[in-house]
Structure 1
Amino acid sequence: MLFAAPFFLLLARQSGGAANLERRDWTWILALGLLGYYLSSLFDFFSLLTISAALERMTLFLYPTLVLLLSTLFLKKRYPLHVWGAVLLSYLGVALAFAHDLAESTLAADAWKGLGWVLASTFTYALYLIGTGEVVGRIGATRMAALGTLVACIAVLVHFSVTEPVASILHLPWQVYAIGLAMGVFSTALPVWCLSQAIRLLGAGRTASVGTLGLALTLLMSWGFLGEALSLEQVAGAALVVLGVTLANRQKGSR
C-alpha cells in the first residue's frame, strides 16, 4: 500500500481531487475505502492462514450473490425465483469444495475459522460494490477508486504501525521491496482502476459476473505455483460457483 499510494495520489489529482465534493461524498469515500480495500483484504489474508487459496477464491466469488441478497434487503429490489436457484447453486459449489478442505485439514476448527474469515471478506466486498454502484455516477469512477484506496492505504499503514515495529520495514531484503513494488502497481493500483472502470461501464452485477474468470485462474495458479491439491471436488465446486454466479447476474437482467 505504501508503494501504491503515490499512484493513487496522482490518479486522484488527475480526476479532480477534492474539488466539489460534499460532506456526504467524503462519508461514502471513507466508508467504502475501509470496506472494500482495507477490511475485505484484511479478512481475506486471515482466511488464507487456514484454508487453501482455491477455497478462499471460490468463497470470495460468492460476492455477486451477496450483492443480490443485500440489494433485496436494503434497496428493496426484487428478483425472480430462478435467480435464487442460481444463488443456491453457487453455495452448493462452495460446500463441495469446503468438504475437500475439511477432509484435508488436520484441524477442522481452523478450516471453519478460515471459512468464516473469507465469508466476512465476501460480505464487506459486497457492501463495497453496492455502495460504489450507488455513488460512482456522482463522484466519478476514477476519483472514487483513487480516494477510496488512499483511505485504505492510510488505514493499512496505521494498522501496521500499531501491530509491528515501524523500523522493521527498513531492514528487508531488496527482493521484498521489488515484490512489494510489483504488487503495489500490478496487483493494487492497476486492478483497482480497472475495476472502477468496469463498474462504471457494466454495472456492479455484470462486473462481478465477468470477474469469475479469476476463480479458474486461481485454481490453476494455486496448483501450479503453491503446490496445492486440485481435486475433483474442487473443480466441480468451482464449476457450480461460476455457473451459479453467471446465471444469477444474467437472469436478473439489471446493471
Structure 2
Amino acid sequence: MSSDTPRPAAPPHALAGIILALAGAALFATKGIVIKLALIEGIDAVTSLTWRMIVAVPIFVTVGILTWRSKRAAAPAGMPSVLTLPVLLQTLGVGVVGYYLASLLDFSALEYITAQFDRLILLTYPFFVVLFGAVFFRRRVTPPMVLALLVSYAGIAVIFWHDLHIEGDNVLLGAALVFGSAIAYAGYQIMAKPLIDRLGAQLFTSIAMSGAGPAVIAHFLFTHPASDLAVNGAGFVLMLAIGTVSTVLPAYCISGAIGLIGPERTAIIGNVSPVVTVGLAISVLGEAFTAWHALGTALVLGGVWLFARKERPRDRVLEERTA
C-alpha cells in the first residue's frame, strides 16, 4: 500500500468519546480553582463540599431513577434485577468512601496547598490502586510500574521541597491530606470496579453520589451551624459551579466517554486535567509557577504517561475521576 494513502478518519463515536473525555477532564480540573475562589469568599472546605452535594445529589438521583427505569424496560422478561438490595447497599457504601471521605480530604487540603500541587498529587492515585492490588490480590508489580512511580514522586518531591521553604508546615499538612484523599480514592476505585461492571458507570455514579450526600450533610451539621450555608451572591454562584460545572457535567461526560471509547483511553485522555488546572491556577488565582514547578509537573506527568504506556492490565480500574 502506498505511503500516500490517507489514513481513515476516526469513527464518529470515537471522536465523540474523545471530545467527551477531554471535556470531562477539563471540567473536573476546575474543581480546585472554584474551591480556592470560595475560600477567598470566606466559604470553608466543608461548606463547599456540602453545597456540592446539595446541588449535585438531586440531579444524580433523578438521572439514576431514569437510568434504572430504562434498564428495567429494556431487560428481557424474567431476567433477575442487577440492582439487588446488597448491591444497592454496597454502592452506597462505596460512594461514601469515594465522594465523602476522599472529597473531604481533598477539599480540606486546598486550604493549605496550591490547586496545582493538589491536582498533581491526586493524579498519582493509580499507583495506590496497583499497590492495593499487589497487597490484597497478589497482582504482580513490574519494573516499569516502579519506574513510573519513582518518576512521578520525584516530581512531587521537587514541588514539595520548593513550597515547603516558602509556605512552611502548611504544605506538609496539605500534602498529607491530599495523599490521604488519593489513598481513599484508590480504595474506592478497587471497590467500585465490580459494581460498575454490574450496574454501568452512569447508574453506579448516580447511586454512589446519592449515598455520599447524607454523610456530607451530617458532617456539616455536626461541625457547623446551619446558618453557615447562607452565602453571598458571588459565593452562591461558586457553589452552583462546584455542584454542576465541576461535578455533574464532568461525571456524565466521563461516563459517556467510557461507553464510547472505553475506560483505559478515557483515563489516559484524562491526564490533561493537571495541565488545565495549572493554567487556571496561574491565570485565575495568580499562583506562582517557577522552574521548579515546571520540572515537578513534567516529572509527574511523565511518570503517569510511563505507567499508562508500559502497563495496561486488563483489570486496571480507572473509570471514574469524580472525587
Q: TM-score, normalised by structure 2?
A: 0.72
Matches within 5 A, 1:66-145: 66-105=128-167, 108-145=168-205
How far apart are 1:41 and its partner, in Å?
Answer: 1.1
Tell me which residue corresponds to 1:237. 296
Long gaps (5+) in structure 1:
none
Letter in 2 for 1:156: V
The aligned residue for residue 274 of structure 2 is 215
Q: Is the CA contact (8 Å cut-off) linking 1:206 and 1:249 kept in structure 2?
A: no
Contact 2:116 2:277 in 1 (8 A): yes
* Contact 2:122-2:181 at 8 Å conserved across structures: yes
Among 187, 198, 219, the residue aligned to 1:159: 219
Distance 1:207 1:100 in 2: 32
**Is structure 2 residue 65 aligned with structure 1 residue 13?**
yes
Q: Deviations over 1:112-135 (max 9, x none)?
A: 111110100111111122222222
Task: Report the equivalent of 1:53.
Answer: 115
Q: Which amino acid is 2:217 matched to?
A: L
RMSD value over aligned CA atoms?
2.0
Helix, strand or coil for the counterpart of 2:174? Answer: helix
Helix, strand or coil for the counterpart of 1:112? helix
In structure 1, give the amino acid aligned to 2:112. Answer: T
Given that residues 33 and 149 in structure 1 are in contact (C-alpha distance below 8 angstroms), is that contact kept between their aligned partners in structure 2? yes
Measured after TM superposition, the shift of residue 185 of structure 1 is: 1.4
**2:241 & 2:173 partners in 1: Cα distance?**
30
Q: Percent identity?
A: 33
Q: Which residue of 2 aligns with 1:182?
A: 241
2:285: which partner in 1? 226
Consecutive unaligned residues in structure 2, runs of 5 or more: 1-52, 73-80, 315-323
Q: Could you tell me how far apart the structure 1 residues matched to 2:228 and 2:108 are?
A: 21
**How much does 1:23 deviate?**
3.5
The answer to whether the 8 A contact 1:8-1:189 is kept is yes
- After the TM superposition, which segments of 4 or more aligned residues of structure 1 sit over 4 Å from their partners? 197-201
- The alignment of Structure 1 onto Structure 2 pairs a total of residues equal to 251
CA distance in 1, matches of 2:243, 2:111: 22
Cα drift, residue 7 of structure 1: 0.9
Distance in 1 of aligned mates of 2:185 and 2:265? 15
How far 1:199 moved relative to its partner?
A: 5.0
Q: Any idea what SS the aligned residue of 2:140 has?
A: coil
Matching residue of 2:97:
35
The CA deviation at 1:47 is 1.1
Structure 1 residues 126-151: Cα deviation after superposition (integer angstroms, max 9, x where no partner): 11222222221112211100010011
SS, match of residue 230 in structure 1: coil
Q: Describe the shift of the 1:25–1:197 C-alpha distance in structure 2 as closer, same or farther (beyond 3 A).
A: farther
Based on CA coordinates, which of the two structures has the bigger radius of gyration?
A: 2
Q: Displacement of 1:206 after TM fit?
A: 4.8
Query: SS at 1:4's partner residue?
Result: helix
Q: 1:46 to 1:63 in 2, by over 3 A?
A: same
Say if 2:209 is the partner of 1:149: yes
Distance (Å, rounded) in 1 between the aligned partners of 2:172 and 2:242: 29
Q: For residues 247 and 129 of structure 1, do their structure 2 counterparts lie closer, same or farther at Cα, with a shift above 3 Å needed?
A: same
Q: Quick check: 12-21 or 60-69, which moved more?
A: 12-21
SS class of match (1:225)? helix
Asked whether the 8 Å contact 2:148–2:307 carries over to 1, the reply is: yes
